[in-house]
Amino acid sequence: MDTARLSIDPAFRIGPARRRLFGSFVEHMGRCVYGGVYEPGHATADGHGLRGDVLDLTRELGVSVVRYPGGNFVSGYRWEDGVGPVGDRPRRLDLAWKTIETNAFGLDEFMRWARAAGVEPMMAVNLGTRGVQEACDLLEYANHPGGTHFSDMRRKYGAEEPYDIRLWCLGNELDGPWQVGHKTADEYGRLAAETARAMKMIDPSVSLVACGSSNRGMPTFAAWEATVLSHTYEHVDYISAHTYYDPSDGDRPSILASAVDLDAFIQEVVATADHVAARKREKRRLMVSFDEWNVWYQQRLRADLDRRGWVEAPALIEDTFTATDAVVVGDLLITLLRHADRVGVACQAQLANVIAPIRTLNGGPAWRQSIFHPFALTARYARGTVLRTEPAGPSHDTNRYGEVSSVDTVAVHDEETGGLVVFAVNRGTTDIRLDIDLRGLPGLAGAAHLALDAGADPDAVNTADDPDRVVPRERERPSVDAGWSAVRLAPASWNLIRYHLPPPEGGPT
């Protein structure tokens, strides 16, 4: 079989495996909120209508931060509609997704859910149809202790202590002509800068995310970032990036290589931000917030929107993900980790039902989609310092990305325990032997090898009736001989390979 080789050296450090890289996204879109995280009357729901089965799966998934309430939805959202007595809240037309928003779930419910799930909130403000004052009002409601109009309103509605939200998005995808309140780069950049200055007057400790391009294919990509950051660089902490990869055309070799595009995207956003920093003589380096990413069968969206009128919480882009999609997601996570020095936040879109790792039925069960597993295992085991790995091995051709490496890897070293985890994807069509040089970390022994293999049944999916068809399987435990370890990577597979320091001979196990 073909062979790939990589060396692991603890001196080749990229950065910490940041917990915020394992974020998710809850938008008022389709059934992500209503029928997803929130369903009063469900058998598992608590007294506040929060689905207990979805909460359990969210904790298992290992989600660290959740972006809310959008997404396109936020560009027309009045946050005040979602607080106060539920019976007094107005019903509104949501122009983003052509639905009726009941506002039964709003900021206070989301914060109650976030605390129950053990996740950090990442709040977005509306800079599409609103502006500086409304953003300041929301920040005052969320973070000011009391004694003012909006902070006392929060206390009146039951939240005595501030929510202390640290992460804030200054709008969403305002470069996109589909966006309510679409703006030019100069228009948005100036508004974002004014909003950022005002918000930091209220709470100087918040971290702010300026909108980058909606995707790498936008005609204004890079120029948008350069213009926006020329206005906002001094006032923000992150520039956002969004991307989705569409398997609809059936080009399996290309979709399996999607991480090649993600890698280039990150490098280009970083280069643009650093260019602005150089022009401004800024020593501080901006981080990237990759706060929307996933696999998405995008051709289905238009049909979902066109075939109905104004309704509440319709089923919208409830993609059922395959074993192949799970391998792609695992590889995208490898790329995000590999850029841990500059990617500070990442949010897989979305959490429940809408292109999501968790699916539910109204009144019925919740289950793990195929893409749930590489995310959960990466979040669980990527602890410590990300190490640079550059595998040498076979390559193959793809229609979208040309010649690509057949093997993609990243390693994370836990200095506290001495353990090491290698994440590896075989994008190719044949078995590949991966030889790992561990001489830089002497004393390691093999602990486990888990693999999610899409080669045998690439279109296999999990369903409510068969929720465990696509799961990672244990492989032969890796051995280490004279500082080298060899593992077999099946075709089209995502692999987690763990090593540990065994206890001293005769010591406790």
Question: Which residues are catalytically annotated?
Answer: 173, 292
Would you state the structure tokens that stand for residue 33, as one six-digit string?
A: 């909120």
What DSSP state is assigned to residue 363? Answer: T
Instruction: Collect all residues with Cβ–Cβ distance below 8 Å to 146 and sequence separation of at least 6.
Output: 152, 155
Angle of the 185-202 helix axis to the 132-143 helix axis, nearest 10: 30
Is residue 357 within 8 Å of residue 372, measured between CB atoms?
yes
Q: Dihedral, CA atoms, 259, 240, 347, 74, nearest 10 degrees?
A: -130
Q: How far apart are CA 319 and CA 296, in angstroms?
A: 7
Residue 332 to residue 452: CA distance in whole angstroms: 15
Question: Residue 414, SS3?
Answer: coil
Q: Phi/psi zone of residue 410: left (φ > 0), alpha (ψ -120 to 50 degrees), beta?
A: beta
Amino acid in the structure at residue 101: E
Is residue 147 packed enough to be buried (19+ CB in 10 Å), middle (13-18) or exposed (0-12)? Answer: exposed
**Structural element, H or E, at residue 421:** strand 420-426
Contacts of 173 (CB under 8 A, 6+ apart): 72, 75, 179, 211, 214, 242
Say how many C-beta atoms besides its own lie within 10 A of residue 435's C-beta. Answer: 16
CB neighbourhood size of 194 (10 A) = 17
Which residues are within 8 A (CB) of 396 and not within 5 positions of it... i.e. 6 or more apart?
253, 403, 404, 406, 427, 428, 429
Residue 104 falls in which region: left (phi positive, over 0), alpha (psi -120 to 50) or beta: alpha
Structure tokens at 501: 């320091």
